[in-house]
Amino acid sequence: METTADPRRLGLLAEYDNPADLVRGAASMRERGYRRLDAFTPYEVPGLAETLGVARTRLPLVTLVAAAVGGTLAYLIQWWTNAVAYPIPVGGRPLHAAPAFVPITFETAILFAGVATFLGVLVLSRLTRLWAPIDEIDGFERASVDRYWLAVDRRDPSFDPERTARELEDTGPLRVVGPPSRPSLGIVRCLPPLILVMLPFLAGCDVAGPEPNFSLERMIHQPRYDAWEASAVFADGKAMRDPPAGSVHAGSVLGPPALVEGRTDGRWVEQVVPEVDAALLRRGRDRFEIYCAPCHGIDGEAATSVAQSMSLRTPPPLVDGDARTLPPGRVFHVATYGYGLMPAYGHQLSIGDRWAVAAWVEVLRLRFGVPLESLPPALYERARRELEARDEEEDRPALPEPAVGRQRQGLEREVER
């Protein structure tokens, strides 16, 4: 658009000390047939733009188009990356999850529109031009403070240096001035700062040494060792170093290894280390049912809905199968550090609690798959009596050996005692 600040366009200027005079002056010049008028004011004087015949700006169109472009782009990126290029099924939601794409689509539309609007103002108003010939007029700087300037374009068909000056004087300004005579240096002035800004980028070049390096893959090929890499520096030929002998891991609990680690000399402890009494078992049962039972089940059989959902690596039953034979030291160790998908509970369960849990696991195991003969004699007799009595009642053949699971009730009562 027109910029009267342009030296080729700068005709005559009139300075007023209040907006009303300026509007009147502009109106009278307009009446005289001037069409290329502009004004410089400290704020937007209401009604001035209409008087000068300033056209409505095209800015809203810029904003609208930018918003449409931004929104479309954002939606397409989300759709293409998540539904086409790299599908990630998550939370059972569809790959092309339109409702979930709304926030980013919206934000990006606003981002594009906002930036475009700002740049639009800058570009349309030719801002960032820090100096213009008009600035050389003495006193023009008060256009941003308390003076109101009216400018007539030199190329206005009605423009005539003398007549226009007279007509401007008639509108009652403080003074009328012509353009200063000083050429614009234009782009030449911008080059030094531009070069200055670019200079730091040279720091990224590696061409100074004896062997200039023009590779663009320097981020990938870096002069350093990766894990497990061989190295000629050390005697053992490894790049990785062992910690010094006697190092203790930060945060480790010190104590007899049997008690705090569940093993001695690399072997799992076969017995629960603290003394087993009713209080310990009660504690163990309580902790077990809070921390372990959600996956391994109240009875340790791992028949839980959590276990069903973890179909690839189910939590094993603790009373059956491979895990049944794990010694208490191993159970304690797993409770401390976790195993596979199972998280570590060292933080939430104290050492005593973990041993109590290990003891309770022992108890749970007693309820399953214990041969009848291995019971203490008194208990054996009673169990046999009761079971046989029930089988007769139900009219079934004598017990098969070993009687897995059948002893449950009686044994449980015994243990509770």
Q: DSSP code of 93?
A: B
Residues that contact another protein, how many (by CB under 8 A): 81
Instruction: Say which amino acid occupies 405.
Output: G
Among 294, 257, 254, residue whose Cα is nearest residue 273: 257
Least separation in angstroms between residue 55's CB and another protein is 9
- The upper half-sphere exposure of residue 180, i.e. CA atoms within 13 Å in the direction of its Cβ, equals 13
Three-class DSSP labels, 222-271 = CCCCCCCCECCCCCCCECCCCCCCCCCCCCCCCCCHHHHCCEECCEECCC
Alpha-carbon span 142 to 139, nearest angstrom: 6
Q: Which of residues 183-222 bind another protein (CB under 8 A)?
A: none
Does the protein bind another protein through residue 42 (CB under 8 A)?
yes
C-alpha 190/C-alpha 192 separation (Å) is: 6
Min separation Cβ 40 and another protein, Å: 5
The window from 75-83, 265-273, 311-319, 365-373 that contacts another protein (CB under 8 A) reads 75-83
Please identify which residue in 69, 77, 372, 379 interacts with another protein, judged by CB under 8 A.
77
Closest to another protein by CB, 89 or 376: 89
Sketch the per residue contact string, 323 through 362, with another protein: x for CB under 8 A, - otherwise: --------------------x---xx--------------
> Per the structure block, which two tokens stand in for 353?
């609690």
What is the rounded CA–CA span in Å between residue 222 and residue 280? Answer: 57
Nearer to another protein, 4 or 407 (CB): 4
Report the site for another protein in 291-330 (rule: CB under 8 A). Answer: 291-292, 294
Backbone angles phi, psi at 314, to 5 degrees: -75, 145
Candidate list 32, 35, 65, 81; residue touching another protein; CB under 8 A: 81
Per rule CB under 8 A, is residue 86 in the interface with another protein? yes
CB-nearer residue toward another protein: 219 or 312 = 219
Using the rule CB under 8 A, give the single segment among 144-152, 197-205, 222-230, 232-240 that binds another protein.
Answer: 144-152
Torsion of CA 296, 297, 298, 301, to 10 degrees: -90
Placement of tokens 């614009």 in the chain: 184
Q: Return the residues of window 44-63 that contact another protein according to CB under 8 A.
A: 44-46, 48-49, 52, 54, 56-57, 59-60, 63
Q: Which of 32, 35, 68, 107 binds another protein (CB under 8 A)?
A: 107
The first and second tokens of residue 21, run together, are 């005079």
Residue 369 is which amino acid?
Answer: G
